[in-house]
Amino acid sequence: MHDFGFIDGLIAAFSLHNLVYALFGCLMGTLVGILPGLGPASAMAILIPVAAYLPPEAAVIIFGGIYYGAMYGGSTTAILMNIPGEVASSVTTLDGYPMARQGRAGQALAAAAIGSFIAGIAGAFAVGWLGPIVGEVALLFGPVEYLGLIVFSMTAVISFAGRSLVLGVAMAVLGVWLSSLGVDPQNGVPRLTFGSVELRMGFDIVPVMVGIFGLGEVFFNLSQKIESTYIGRLGAWYSMLPRASELRATITSGIRGTMIGGVLGLLPGMVPALTAYLAYGLEKRVSGQPQTFGQGRIEGVAAPEAANNATAMAGFVPLLSLGIPTSPALVIVLGAMVMNGVTPGPTMFTQHADIAYTVVASMFLCNAMLLVLNLPLVGLWARISLIPYKYLAPIIIGVCLIGAYAPRNTMFDVGIALGAGAFGYLMRRLDWPMTPLLLGFLLGPIFETTLRQTLSASGGSWAPLYTHPISVAFLLAGGIVLVATLYIRRSNAMAQLIEESTNEA
Amino acid sequence: MKRDLLAKLPTIVLGVSLAAFGLISMWDAERITREYRKPGAFDVVGPDNFLFYTGVLLILSGIAVACSAGAAGDGAHSETPLFPSTPVMIFLTACAYAAAIPLVGYLVATIAFFPLVNWLLGVRFKANMIASVCTVTVLYIVFDRLAGIPFPSASLFS
């Protein structure tokens, strides 16, 4: 029997319906990137009810398009208005906006698009190549190894979680606790239900995500004032392309940014804004003229944009091969796949090869589409960014409430979404980290299952955790990440970026 | 000093809430042990012990959070009040909308919801009507007619 491979995935990705899904995702992603106040996780949360009615690969194609599209789109307002559409593009303002003020807005936008494209294509190759390899290694995992992996993931996410490790840990524990509400997965015993029929159903991931990332974000944005002024005239799109030495600089810095973002993006909790900052720092060192950065260096635009897109792409490797999401947006992608009956993990590239390779092939397609969308249509996107938020907010609220209701057709979930929305608002206003809460909620059941299986097999002893080599490696890696982030937090700029990214939806 | 205390208050409330959840968790774990734990019924950990130790962690986290309030610089240092009127009114309106759907049906509740929210957000009358009609129409067609989502029936009219 013919094994479904990458070529089959490419053919499937170029089918008419998948092309339409990819285009829709890219348009939505660019729009989301353009509009301050609407992040990729919010947009995906809003579209969850749509995902429920689509084939699983379609949902992932759309959500993937939104995710990397937002990375492309966020640079437009960063360059033209000094307002990053996404936190990941905040580093781009440092040289992008000065370039716009010098009348080189077109070159800056082109450099951002080219850098993102290089990262996107390289990232897609990496997912297609690394994904099956990681999956094969993961087939050797037993409950002990999975427990070690989950502890590492949670440690990494908490380490990158905003300004306070204490808050990060507390949110993660709260997430695990919330996931335990309902019926125990192994014995069917009701927990924290207090005799309520609705509470026996437990909290579904969809209303929680829609509430925190959708409604919470709307309430937060309504409490803020977002002013934007569009500057710069843009000529025809082909006049924007950098020439000669600028083109060379764009490509080489884009490659360096890709490598930084791609490698670091494999880590759970690693945020695109941080890799963008690190890539920018590298360019300053490599250039030999650090004092010229911040005044319109094209490398200062291409490298961070490449890094943030590479981080976004790299996150799909642990997501598809291990079932571990590395960012809030990928938590939602995972939720959408699970809703459609596909559980990512070690067998993703074998048992669900049709979905996996179609998604990988669509990554190439989406990145090509985004390059086309972001250059010729940049003037249009810049004008769309001026739409007042008050026109969008009611629509988002309406869709979110439907989205919360749709999976289980119960108003209880709508109530959960509203409660989660109120809590999400508080989290945004008070800079309480969201990602550990979401990850704790999503990984809580797996954590409980693997913990109980590990301790059952060992008769209650914790010894397997520190005698199984893979588990030990994960625990050590978690310790290294924790120490490394304590060092990173000594830089105020990096600490600020981590905090803003973790609370962005 | 009063301003500092107000800034720390949300984090302290969070910490106390986490500790309270932890106590509830431990209480429910004890109930499960009492009602369900029999020889051979559960694995070594069991649903009760997992809940119990999660409760312990919640209490410890809650205490740590409450004690750390203000140490790292709370986010509640913005000039904007924590509960400004616009998002609060929108939230309450959304709650009323959710409560109204089972009573009057999705369509009627939605027809009332959008113009009200647009009005609260300061959208002018003409733009409000256009936006509301378009939004209600699109949402109704997409989710009720095309997706066939079974919204609750209007109990007041049935």
CA-based max dimension of chain B: 71
Contact A119, A307 (CB under 8 A): yes
Query: A409 and chain B: CB distance < 8 Å anywhere?
Result: yes
| Closest-CA residue of chain A to B84 | A223
> Positive or negative, the Cα torsion across A35, A40, A43, A46?
negative
CA-based max dimension of chain A: 72
Token pair of A160, please? 């990158």
Owner of token pair 């919010």: A42
pLDDT, tens only, B73-129: 445 445 667 788 889 999 999 999 999 998 998 889 999 999 999 999 988 999 889
At residue A259, the pLDDT reads 94
C-alpha angle A337-A339-A340 in degrees, rounded to nearest 5: 65
Residue-by-residue pLDDT tens, chain A, 505 positions? 456 777 888 888 888 888 898 898 888 888 877 776 667 777 777 777 777 778 888 888 888 888 888 878 888 878 887 777 677 787 888 899 888 888 888 888 889 989 999 999 999 999 988 888 988 888 888 889 889 888 888 887 787 666 688 999 999 999 999 999 999 888 889 999 998 988 998 998 778 888 888 888 889 888 886 555 555 555 555 666 667 888 899 999 999 999 999 988 887 777 787 788 889 988 988 888 888 888 889 999 999 999 989 998 898 998 899 888 887 788 888 888 887 888 888 888 888 888 888 888 888 888 888 888 877 777 777 677 667 788 888 988 988 888 888 778 889 999 999 999 999 999 988 888 887 888 888 888 889 999 999 998 888 888 888 889 988 998 898 888 888 877 766 666 666 666 666 555 5
Find the mean pLDDT for residues B34-58. 90
Those residues whose C-beta lies under 8 Å from the C-beta of residue A228, and which sit 6 or more positions away, are A36, A77, A81, A83, A385, A386
Query: A448 and chain B: CB distance < 8 Å anywhere?
Result: yes
Owner of token pair 């709260």: A174
* CB atoms A170 and B150 under 8 Å: no
Q: Is residue B146 pLDDT above 90, yes or no?
A: no
Pick A53's closest partner by Cβ from B10, B123, B147: B147
ipTM: 0.90
Coil, strand or helix: which one is A268?
A: coil
- As a three-state string, the secondary structure of A371-425 is HHHHCCCHHHHHHHCCCCHHHHHHHHHHHHHHHHHCCCCCHHHHHHHHHHHHHHH
| Closest-CA residue of chain B to A426 | B82
Coil, strand or helix: which one is A182?
A: strand
Contact B23, B80 (CB under 8 A): no
Residues A228, A404: Cα–Cα separation, whole Å: 32
Pick B32's closest partner by Cβ from A191, A395, A453: A191
Coil, strand or helix: which one is A47?
A: helix
Q: If you count residue pairs, one on A and one on B, with CB atoms under 8 Å apart, how many are there? A: 169
At residue B76, the pLDDT reads 47
Backbone angles phi, psi at A367, to 5 degrees: -65, -35
Element (H, E) at A191: strand A190-191
| Chain centre to alpha carbon of residue A318 | 12
Coil, strand or helix: which one is A439?
A: helix
| Better-predicted residue by pLDDT, A35 or B41 | B41
Contact A334, A344 (CB under 8 A): yes
Rg of chain B over all Cα atoms, to the nearest angstrom: 24
Owner of token pair 């310790």: A479
Pick A422's closest partner by Cβ from B32, B76, B91: B91
**Type of residue at A102:** Q
Residues B23, B18: Cα–Cα separation, whole Å: 9
Token pair of B51, please? 């809940």
